[in-house]
Structures are given as C-alpha cells and as structure tokens.
Structure 1
Amino acid sequence: MSAPPAPHGSPMSPGRALVAVLVLVPLIVSFALWAFVWPAARTAPREVPIGLAGPAAATAPVQDKLTRAGDSFDVHRYSDEAQARDAIEQRDVYGAIVVTPDGPKALTASAASPLVAQLLQTTVTQMAGGSAQSDAPPVSDVVATPQGDPRGTAFSTSALPLAIGGVAAGTLIFMLGLRGTRALVALVSAAALIGLVATTLTHSWLEVLGGNWWAEAGALSLSALALSSIVAGMAMFMGTAGIGIGALLAVMLGNPFSGVTSAPQMLPEPFGAIGQWLPPGAGGSLLRSVSFFDGNAMTQPALILSGWALAGLTLVAVNGWRNRTGAHSSSTSPEYVPASAA
C-alpha cells in the first residue's frame, strides 16, 4: 500500500508563529493608526471651494486677504448674493463671503460640511475684526443640517457601520457557498434590504436625513452593492485574501479617507481625492447630494459606485460561469482507465 499524500503545506512552527505575531500585530496597529489618526491630526483647508460675491472694487481687498492665506481656499467669483446662493445649492462651493455696504456676510452650508461652515464663519469674523460673539458678522446657513442631526455627527458616524455592513454581506455570500446566479441574486437583494433598513433608521426614525426617502434608499443600496459585490467577487477568485483586500478598501482606507466627517479638501493630499474614488467616499457624497441638495452633483459619485458594483458583479458572474464550464467538462469527459486495469 502506498503512503498517503503529504498535506498541502505544513503548519508553522510555534517559534515562527510567535515571531509572526510579534511582527504583524505592531504593523497592523501602526497602519490602522496612520489611516485613522493621521488624517484627523492633519485636518486643514486645502483649496476648499468657496464663493466671493459683490462688486469688484469691494471684493478686491477680501480677495487679497484670502490669497495671503495660502492655498486654503479656491475662490470663485460671483456678481451678487443670489448667484452665490445658487452655487452653494448646486454644490459648486461649500459657502461664500458676500461683501455688503455694512461689511462681509457669510453664506454657509452645514449640510455639506459642518466643519467647513464653521471655518468659513471664523474666517469672515476675523476679516471683520470681530472676536466676540456679539462682533460676529451675519451668517446665513443656505443648506442646513436637519434638526435631528444639527451638528452632522450622526451622518458622519453612519459611514463606518454601513461600510462594515457591505463587507459583511459579501463575506457571508462567499462563506455560505453561494455562486453564480444565486450569488448575484443574493448580492442585489441584500443591498436593497440594507438600503431600506438604513433609510428607515436614519431618515424615518433618527431624522438624520432630509431628502427624498426612496432616493436615499437607492443611494444607500448602491453603496452597499458596490462594497458587497467587490468583496464577494475578489473572494471567489482569491479566497480569504479577497475578503481582506475588500475590508482594507472599505474600512481601513475608504472610511478615514472618505472625507465624510469633514470634507475631502480638508484631508492631506492626495488622500482626500483618492477617497472619493473608493466606495465609502463616493457613497457619502452621493448620500449628501440626494438627502440635502436635491440630487445636485450626484452624477460622479453615482458613476463611481456603479463602476465598483459592475466590477464586483462581473467577477461573481465570471466565477459562476467558470465553475459551470468546469463541472460540464468533468461530467462529459471519458473516465480514464489505467493500462494495468485493462
């Protein structure tokens, strides 16, 4: 009787396992701290788009002051307050400074970014020479956060659990052995359910969102599908390593670089821009657009999320086709009979 075949690979020795733990754990912690803490510690304005409205002669001194501030702001000129308000509602700028005969006035959009709104208000106050609350210039919040989330903290906090939910859905579908058409149906159905449940909680119960209910559900579902499908697709081709890469894109990189808690232009370059091409960043931007800005500036994040979802679903479909083709070949090929058995 021949000896049984040797197992594929061998377990790591206790000594090597100990070394691996002592090396990998600090590396993982260091990477997590870099990804989450470093952007927060380096939060600062970097070419944040704002408007400047008023007659050219009156706005020139303000323009000079903003220019001397370095690259903090990307200033867009508007002839009057009405144009500046329209630009804010279209999500072209985060806010604006309006020069009036009585002094500067701040137009903010706390729904776009409470942090940028506060920054703009502080900037206008400093320009007006005020320091106390009584000396602050007038401020008009053009697109305000909803009453259920006046500081925007609930909205920004929701990004991480939604990302984890997308990764969990893709992981479960892979681990439960769903493949091909069943996996595709499960991914789309799970994403739709995530969107419905999340909208019910955030819009109907907590009143964190304030736009069209079904548009918000669609945005949340698309975000979930982008994450779950890419995780499931990579896992079907790469095994558990694909799950790790998906978690890396969604949680370890996508969430801290999404700019949901501040704004992409407040993060160190180029990570704020990179974050908008990952599902959490694109999902946050899309949800802001449909919830607070009547869908303005939603095209780019919707296309990015659709691209991720299409890529993930394609991987799942190709894997299912490959498995069916392999099974068909095995069932139709003639059985090999050794010569000694003839």
Structure 2
Amino acid sequence: MTFVDEVKNAVTPRAALLVMGVLALQLLFIASYVGALHKPRPTDVPFAVVAPAQVSEQLVTRLDALPGSPLDPRPLGDAAEAREQIMNRDIDGALIVSPTGTTDTVLVASGGGTVLAGSLTGIIEKVEATQRRTVRTLDVAPASPDDFDGLSSFYLVVGWCVGGYLCASILAISAGTKPANRERMLIRTATMALYSIAGGIGGAVIIGPVLGALPGSVWGLWGLGALIVFAVGMTTLALEALTGVIGIGLAVLIIVIAGNPSAGGAFPLPMLPDFWRAIGPALPPGAGTWAARSIAYFKGNALTGPLLVLSAWAVAGTALSLLLSMRHEPAGTTDGTATTGTATGTVPGGSTAA
C-alpha cells in the first residue's frame, strides 16, 4: 500500500471531521476563557447611596460619571434598606454617608465575590479621598475564611456539571451510540435521576461538613446539586439523541466553553464583558453558582430565577430526549410488536420450521 492509502485507512473521513470539531472546540475554549477573564473590571455594578438630601443627588451624579462607568448608583432612604437590598442581591454594595463626621461606610458582600467587594471598596476610597473624607468597610455577607476568593461555590457547581455530562455521555455511548428507543431512554433518564441524587448529596457533604468550605444548608445544596446534575445530564442526552456523538461535543460547548467563564465564579458577573455577562445567568454553571452563593451566604434569597433556569434545562432536555426516542422501535421489532425469540419460516418442500 502507498503512504496515501495508509493515511486513508488510518484516518477515515468521519474521524477527520471529528478531529476538526475537536480543534474548533479547543480554539473556542481559548477564546472564551481568555476573552471573558483576561481583563476583568466592574461595569454598571448596582450600587446604593444613602446620604443627606442636600448631597445625595450630587453624589449619585458624581459616581455615575466615573470613567468606565463602574457603578450604577441609585439613592436609598437609609442604611437598613441598603443592607436588605444587598442581602436580597438586588445591589452589590452601598455607600452610607455620615451626616456629622468625615468617615463614611461602604457596605459590601464578599460572599457574592471577594474580588468585586474589594473593587467596590477601592473605587469608593478614591472618590472619598478627593473630598477629604475617609471610608470604613463593613462586610454584611462575608465569605467564609475557608472559602478563598469565594471560589468554592463555583468549583462545586463545576464538579456537578462535569459529573452530569460525563454520566450522560457514558449512558449515551454504552450501546455504541445506538439511537435510544423509548424504553432505553426511560432507563437512561431514571439512571440519570438516581445519579443526580447521589452526586448532589456527595458534593454538598464534601463542601460543607467534610471540608467546611461553605456554610449554609446541606439539604439546600443537595437539592441544588441534584437539579444541576440532572439538568446538565438530560441536556447532554438530548443533544446526543439529536445529533449522535457530536452531541457530547455540543454539551461541552454549552457547559464548559460558554458556561464556565460566564458563570461569575472567578470574577462576578458585573466584572465580565457584556457578552459573557448576558449569557451567564441563562446557562447551568451561572445559574448554579448564583444559587449556591445565595444558599451559602444570602439566607437563600434570590433563588427563584436560577432555579427556574435550571428547571427549564432539565425539563427541555428530558422532553426532547423522550420525544426523539419515539422515532426508534424497540430492538427486534418490525411492526411495533416485540419478538419473543421464536420465529417461523418456510423451508424447502413447504414444511414449516419453528
């Protein structure tokens, strides 16, 4: 055989296409992660100002006009309302101006991201210095000292997502990427549900009682973890049922390449570029990271939105998987009725053989 013939035998057209797809995923991975994380800076961060009436409007205008628009300031009536809005995750920080002294207070919540909390403090310190005022920082939802840079929630969710699409990928290729009929898909869905329950409780116990990295309800994190794993797993099964083995690559594209850098893990959403900030909350890693931090540090507030997002992925993945499986008859059927292992036929001479 010639060298060209050897190449043709070694690399089939299908393999070549798959390799090209892997190359595309590799380049997209680099572009997505570097594009999202190479130059983080706060932009339009929801921020409250509590100040005497005679200076409130002027201060809001000054903060709104800062170069690069790091803050989206709005006036509030009192410090208690500012604290409540931070805990409800409506705003990320607040400046409380002292009506009598020259030392003001900036409220932050490092549980939502220590990098963002530090950035807000730095911005306000520079603004206050121009007015010959000083600032003290009050962290109303502090990150755990064992949760460095507030990353534990993000890594927990990444682990759940990885488990979801790997388990689904194994289930999808266990029969050699054979299209799943309805019965097989029901079995895969049930298996995915059981795996999700186990993965959810395992992650919650490790991150909480075992390592002590996150406070908050173990039961709440268990439920969240099970939902994340199931949503990602069923999405992967649906994509595989729709496109074959390529669906596993599409799951990696959605969850890993698009979802992880936009999740607000390493840098909270207000510090990401517009594109990643827009898609992050709609993808499982972003919704999961927000929900995990809410459970751990914000008394379970602001959970409705991310739980609806995760539920939508789970429902859509399950429904699409089951609908696509109905295109395939159970193995061994020709007219919709399963065979029982006995066949009859006519042999030469007109006799019937069973």
TM-score (norm. length: structure 1): 0.85
Residue in 1 that maps onto 2:320:
315
> CA 1:20–1:235 in 2, change beyond 3 Å: closer, same or farther?
closer
Task: String of CA shifts for 1:50-95, please: whole Å, max 9, x gaps.
Answer: 1111222232342132122143212232111111001001110111
Q: What is the rounded CA distance, in whole Å, between the counterparts of 1:280 and 1:333 in structure 2?
A: 42
Query: Are 2:60 and 2:75, in contact at CA under 8 Å, matched by a contact in 1?
Result: no
Report the residue type matching 1:44 in the other structure: R
Task: String of CA shifts for 1:295-328, please: whole Å, max 9, x gaps.
Answer: 2111111001000001111123224444346865
Alpha-carbon RMSD? 3.1
Residue in 1 that maps onto 2:88:
90
How do 1:168-317 residues align onto structure 2 when only pairs under 5 Å count?
Answer: 168-177=166-175, 179-317=184-322
TM-score (norm. length: structure 2): 0.82
Query: Are 2:107 and 2:139, in contact at CA under 8 Å, matched by a contact in 1?
Result: yes
Q: What is the rounded CA distance, in whole Å, between the counterparts of 1:97 and 1:65 in structure 2?
A: 13
Q: What is the rounded CA distance, in whole Å, between the counterparts of 2:291 and 2:297 in structure 1?
A: 10
Q: What is the rounded CA distance, in whole Å, between the counterparts of 2:169 and 2:287 in structure 1?
A: 21
Report the residue type matching 1:52 in the other structure: V
Q: Secondary structure at the match of 2:112?
A: coil
Residue in 1 that maps onto 2:74:
76
Q: Secondary structure at the match of 2:282?
A: coil
119-128 vs 148-157, greater mean Cα deviation = 148-157
Q: What is the rounded CA distance, in whole Å, between the counterparts of 1:330 and 1:149 in structure 2?
A: 59
CA deviation after TM superposition for structure 1 residue 236, in Å? 2.3
Report the residue type matching 1:76 in the other structure: R
Residue in 2 that maps onto 1:165:
163
Task: String of CA shifts for 1:97-118, please: whole Å, max 9, x gaps.
Answer: 1111323311000011211100
Report the residue type matching 2:28 in the other structure: F
> CA 1:286–1:333 in 2, change beyond 3 Å: closer, same or farther?
closer
CA deviation after TM superposition for structure 1 residue 20, in Å? 7.3
Query: Are 1:107 and 1:140, in contact at CA under 8 Å, matched by a contact in 2?
Result: yes
Which sections of structure 2, spanning at least 5 residues, go unmatched? 1-6
> CA 1:23–1:126 in 2, change beyond 3 Å: closer, same or farther?
same
Report the residue type matching 2:116 in the other structure: V
Q: What is the rounded CA distance, in whole Å, between the counterparts of 1:146 and 1:194 in structure 2?
A: 23
> CA 1:38–1:136 in 2, change beyond 3 Å: closer, same or farther?
farther
Superposed structure 1 runs of 4+ greater than 4 Å apart: 11-28, 324-329, 331-335
> CA 1:229–1:46 in 2, change beyond 3 Å: closer, same or farther?
same
How do 1:83-122 residues align onto structure 2 when only pairs under 5 Å count?
Answer: 83-101=81-99, 102=101, 103-122=103-122
Residue in 1 that maps onto 2:126:
126
176-185 vs 162-171, greater mean Cα deviation = 176-185
Q: Secondary structure at the match of 2:47?
A: strand
> CA 1:21–1:249 in 2, change beyond 3 Å: closer, same or farther?
closer
> How many residues align structurally?
327
Query: Are 1:180 and 1:319, in contact at CA under 8 Å, matched by a contact in 2?
Result: no
Residue in 2 that maps onto 1:54:
51
Q: What is the rounded CA distance, in whole Å, between the counterparts of 2:11 and 2:230 in structure 1?
A: 42
Report the residue type matching 1:315 in the other structure: L
Query: Are 2:330 and 2:338, in contact at CA under 8 Å, matched by a contact in 1?
Result: no
Q: What is the rounded CA distance, in whole Å, between the counterparts of 2:9 and 2:62 in structure 1?
A: 65
Q: Secondary structure at the match of 2:82?
A: helix
CA deviation after TM superposition for structure 1 residue 230, in Å? 0.6
> CA 1:204–1:269 in 2, change beyond 3 Å: closer, same or farther?
same
Report the residue type matching 1:182 in the other structure: I
Q: What is the rounded CA distance, in whole Å, between the counterparts of 2:244 and 2:275 in structure 1?
A: 31
Q: Secondary structure at the match of 1:96?
A: strand
> CA 1:306–1:39 in 2, change beyond 3 Å: closer, same or farther?
same
Quick one: which of 29, 35, 60 aligns to 1:38?
Answer: 35
> CA 1:333–1:99 in 2, change beyond 3 Å: closer, same or farther?
closer
Task: String of CA shifts for 1:2-53, please: whole Å, max 9, x gaps.
Answer: xxxxxxxxx9466998997997776544322111112111311121111111
| Identity of matched residues, % | 25
Q: What is the rounded CA distance, in whole Å, between the counterparts of 1:255 and 1:25 in structure 2?
A: 18
Which sections of structure 1, spanning at least 5 residues, go unmatched? 1-10
Residue in 2 that maps onto 1:65:
62
Task: String of CA shifts for 1:180-237, please: whole Å, max 9, x gaps.
Answer: 3211211111111110000011011122221111111111111111101110122123
Query: Are 1:58 and 1:99, in contact at CA under 8 Å, matched by a contact in 2?
Result: no
Report the residue type matching 2:212 in the other structure: E
Residue in 2 that maps onto 1:3:
none
